[in-house]
Structures are given as C-alpha cells and as structure tokens.
Structure 1
Amino acid sequence: MKKSTLLIIGAAGNNGVATIEALTRKHGDSVVVRAGVRTEAKARSLQARFPSIETVIMDLDQPATLGATFEGVDKLFLIIGNVENREQHAKHAIDAAVRAGTVKHVVFYSVFGAEYESILFGRQFRFGEKYLEASGLNWTHLRTIFFQENFLGWADGIKQGALYLGVREGRFAPLNIADIGEIAATILSTDGHEGKAYAITGPELLSGVEIATRFAAVTGKPVAYVSPDEATTLQSLLSTGWPAWQANGMLELFEVFASNQAAVVSPDGERLLGRPLTPLSAYLASNKPAFV
C-alpha cells in the first residue's frame, strides 16, 4: 500500500519539529514526511535528527519555485512563520497546493480567536483561513494559543525573582508545543477532520500571579508577578530585537488576555489526543535549568 506523503511547510520551527517528532514516532510506517524549509542548513539539521524524512528547500516569497515542493503531496500542514506578510505567504502556498492537483487536505496552523479578526495576528491568520476555505481544498484550522515555551523569553526576569507579563489580572491557558505537534500529527494521519476549526488551549486557566507561583514552586525561589504598562512592555520587546509590527501585535494579544477575552479552556485538544494536555507546572519542571 502506497504511503501518504505529508508536506510540512515551516518544518524547522518549533511547531514543525514537534509535528515531525510525533509523526515519525507514531505514524512512520504509514506516511512519508516531507519537510519544507528555507535553507540547506535547516534541511541538514532536520535530516540528521529525523533520518527517515524527506527535505525540500522552498521559499514562499518566490511562488514560481514551489512546484517541486508539492510533487506527489497528499496532505499539507501549513505553518506560516513570524513574518509581516503572512497573508501573502498563505496565498502562495495554497495556490501551489491547488496547482499540484494531488493535495487532498490542508491543515492550516492558525491562532485562537482568529475568527473574530479583532487583533493583527487574528486578521493575518484569518485571511489564510478564508483563502483556504475558498480554494476548493479540504481544510482544517488548528487554532492555538500562547505557548508555555514562550516563557523562555522571560527567563532572565524569573532568575531575578520576577515575572514581568503585561496581562494585569487576566487569565489564559498556556499551551505546550509538544502537545500541538501530537495533535497536528493526529489530524494529519486520521480521517474526519475536514471542514473543522479546532481551538487548542492549555488545560488550565492561569493568572499572572498563578503563573509566578508555579515558577516559584519549581525553582524553589520567590517569584513576584509584575504587570508592566504597555509602553514599558513595548520598549522591552523592541529592545530585545522584536520588529515593531510584531511587538505591537503582541501588545494587542496581551490586552486580549488582560481583558479575559481568551479566558477559556477548550476541550478540543484533549478530545483529539484522548488524554489531558500538559500543565504548565510539568513543562516548567522539565525545563527547570532554564529558569534558575
């Protein structure tokens, strides 16, 4: 029986790697994984880690070059990177999938609340969702929320005894990337997901104070919660190299959290995996050296 060929665009990023890990570990006998990346170095790195996969060099800024990338592809997991022209990248990839003529299903990586188009990130991803829906291809939207792994960017503050997170008293449910990868692998390797939009959150609603408490429990040191104002947060992000468009988009996201617009624990992830998702305390315990 011919194996299904799954193309992952954005394969070298954290979500792509997590998906490849889950696919090769759980479904390697039934699928061929093709990793789409931008550079030879990324291709070599992935091939060394996952010897059974195929790799292909591709560039979503050059749509005319995408034909070989999609040759013989049955399913696509489309992960658009952290670029300002996300809409254009989504359009180029979806157009290439249509031209290929073999793609039966596209799983589109998106963000929680994209359907409301209320913030920049939501509007960027919702464009891709709508473009895919209009393409004639079978589609599934995988809408994810703030990652537990993002807290690595706050590690310096944690080491100094404070969590600086501008979400005031709001609560949200941080999500583990390994869980996202396993969920994506499940959708790509099973049937019945066409025409569905899954909202994927972590398993527990947490406030800034509760997140700081979990850090303190794992590190064994006091961690205070501080919610800076928007100007301070913006300056902090810009000073660490964030482009202005992305930093301002993050401010919008923090306001969504601060006003409890994302204070939801979705059951979709647990239903798809048949198990509870990873709590923040478990992620922190596994990565304690990064925070002490």
Structure 2
Amino acid sequence: MNNQTILIIGAAGNNGMATIESLVSKQPKDTIVAAVRSTDKATLLKKKFPSIKTVIIDLDKPETLTAAYEGVTKVFMIPGNVEEREQHAKNAIDAAVQAGTVKQFLFYSVVGAEYEAILFAQQFRAGEKYLEQSGLNWTHLRTIFFQDNFFGWADGVKQGGLYFGIREGSFAPLNVADIGEMAANILTTSGHEHKAYNITGSELLSGEEMAKVFTDVTGKTVAYISPTKQQTLDSLLSTGWPQWQAEGMLELFEVFATNQAAVVSPDGEQLLGRPLTTLKDFIASNKAAFV
C-alpha cells in the first residue's frame, strides 16, 4: 500500500483526526494529505502529525480542490456540519472524477441514510447516491450518534442529570476513535468496493441505562431526564446550534425515541477485528470531564 496517497477531507474534525491517528500508526510510509479550510487548522494538524501533508480547500469553491487531488489514489470525505453538505459532497466527488487517479472514495454517512426519513439522512444519502453514480469505486461508512457527543451533556451530568430527549427509546452509541480505526482499515485494505457499512456501538442502551453507566463510573447518582422537544430545541439553540441543525437533531432524537435505530450492527467489529469500545469504557477514560 506504500504507493497510495490518501486524501482526508474534513481532516481537522474529530473523525478526521481519529482517522489520521490510526493511519499514521498502521501505514506510516503512506502519503497522507489532510484537507482543511484554514492555515490555522493546517498548522495544528502538522503540529500533531508532522509527517503528513496539508492542503487548504474551500468546498464552496470547486476550483480549490484541483491541486489537493494531485496524485491522490484514495479519498475519505467527512462532510462538515453545514447545511450545504449535499453540494459539498458533489463538489468533492466531481473533483475526484476529474483527477482521474482516485481508485477508492470512502464516504462518511449516517445509519439509516438509505431511508431518507429525516434531514440528516437526506443530506448524506444525496451524497451517497451522487457517488454511486459517479463511476468511482465507492464505500459508505454509516455511523450513529457518538459516545463523544456526551461531552456536550457533561455540565448536566456533573449536576446529577443526563438530560437526553429520547424518552424510552434505545440505541447503541459509537466511539469516534473506533470510527477512525475502521476508516483507516478500509483505506489500507482491499475488498470494500461498492459496500455500505452500518456502524453502531456494541450495546443497545436506553436513557435510563446510560444514566446508570454514568452513575456507576463516576460514583455519583446521575438521573435520566427526557426533556420535551421544545426544551431540547431551546437548549440546543441557546448553546449556539444553528436552527436547521437543532431541528435535525430533534428529528434524530425522535428516531431514537421510537426505537427506529434500536439495532446493533456487526459491521464495526468485523472492520476492527476487535470488540468495540463500550460506553462504560469511554466514560472511564474521560471520567474527569463528567465529575
């Protein structure tokens, strides 16, 4: 695989960083190109990963992508948390086709994208479909809500409450470091063409069960409280979420609340070749953030 040049689009985000972390340990001789939106982000990445290359791109300006794709044979695109996800995906895919060197395009997506039932699914599925029709060898890495997202709920946990609006529903939260390792494995092995991997955590958990995990690990009682939709929306907006994204999260919570995502997929463990990180393991590793 030493002749491969891997381009990571969205490299400065948590999933991008986790992927690079795994790539440099698995395949240090590969050329890894991290595409980011600013010189500040490029500088931070180079400080953490001195051996990688960085390029500045603007997904709203397709002409900035040409140089980034020079000599690239594999791409991992992680669309950003922006309303223009669909157009950004199309621009990145078009650039890959035009480059003529890309042998594999790994697209980050979400579990349930194929149903197009909620906004986030619609956004990611539009990118998936465009990629499938591009003529490129495609792979979809569909993920579910992250364990790492609970850092955003840490203040409530510290005060003894997990305020999470999924009522009595269950789902299997997923670890970002695991996702990065899966992506790195896909990018450095063969046999993934034209496959969609559905990635969940290893255990279905209700809000009550998640609160109990926080209680057990932190040693202090954490109660589960399921706020109303309006309370959740107000909370997200008050912390700076854009309206479209906050409303999209409400849709996702409703999917969880009605057990439409109450599944555990074997795909993640198969891609990793080891057990997935449990919520208990994640909280234990980050206990200081929750006490």
Q: TM-score range by the shorter chain?
A: over 0.9
Please list the CA deviations of residues 30-87 of structure 1 after superposition, one character each: whole Å capped at 9, or x if unmatched: x211000000011011111111100000010100121101000000001110000100
SS of 2:40 mapped into structure 1: helix
SS of 2:5 mapped into structure 1: strand
1:32 corresponds to 2:52: no
Q: Aligned residues, how many?
A: 291
> Which residue pairs with 1:92 in the alignment?
91
> Which residue pairs with 1:213 in the alignment?
212
- Aligned-residue offset at 1:3: 2.2
Structure 2: distance between partners of 1:45 and 1:66: 21
SS of 1:271 mapped into structure 2: helix
The 5 Å alignment of 1:74-85 reads 74-85=73-84
SS of 2:24 mapped into structure 1: helix
Structure 2: distance between partners of 1:65 and 1:77: 17
Unaligned runs of 5+ in 2: none
Letter in 2 for 1:87: E
Unaligned runs of 5+ in 1: none
> Which residue pairs with 1:135 in the alignment?
134
> Which residue pairs with 2:230 in the alignment?
231
> Which residue pairs with 1:20 in the alignment?
20
> Which residue pairs with 1:9 in the alignment?
9
Structure 1: distance between partners of 2:128 and 2:47: 33
Structure 1: distance between partners of 2:16 and 2:159: 32
Structure 2: distance between partners of 1:290 and 1:278: 18
SS of 1:181 mapped into structure 2: helix
1:51 corresponds to 2:36: no
SS of 1:193 mapped into structure 2: coil
Structure 2: distance between partners of 1:72 and 1:83: 28
Identical counterparts, % of pairs:
71
Structure 2: distance between partners of 1:65 and 1:151: 35
Please list the CA deviations of residues 3-36 of structure 1 after superposition, one character each: whole Å capped at 9, or x if unmatched: 210000000000000000000011113x211000
Structure 2: distance between partners of 1:192 and 1:26: 18
Structure 1: distance between partners of 2:108 and 2:209: 28
Length-normalised TM-score, structure 1: 0.99
Structure 2: distance between partners of 1:196 and 1:128: 15
Length-normalised TM-score, structure 2: 0.99
> Which residue pairs with 2:117 in the alignment?
118
> Which residue pairs with 1:267 in the alignment?
266
> Which residue pairs with 2:188 in the alignment?
189
SS of 2:284 mapped into structure 1: helix
Please list the CA deviations of residues 147-184 of structure 1 after superposition, one character each: whole Å capped at 9, or x if unmatched: 00000000010011000000000000000000000000
Structure 2: distance between partners of 1:169 and 1:161: 19
SS of 1:242 mapped into structure 2: coil
4+ residue runs over 2 A deviation: none
RMSD: 0.8
SS of 1:56 mapped into structure 2: strand
Letter in 2 for 1:47: K
Structure 2: distance between partners of 1:61 and 1:234: 28
Structure 1: distance between partners of 2:117 and 2:243: 19
Structure 2: distance between partners of 1:90 and 1:189: 22
Structure 1: distance between partners of 2:272 and 2:207: 28
Letter in 1 for 2:109: S
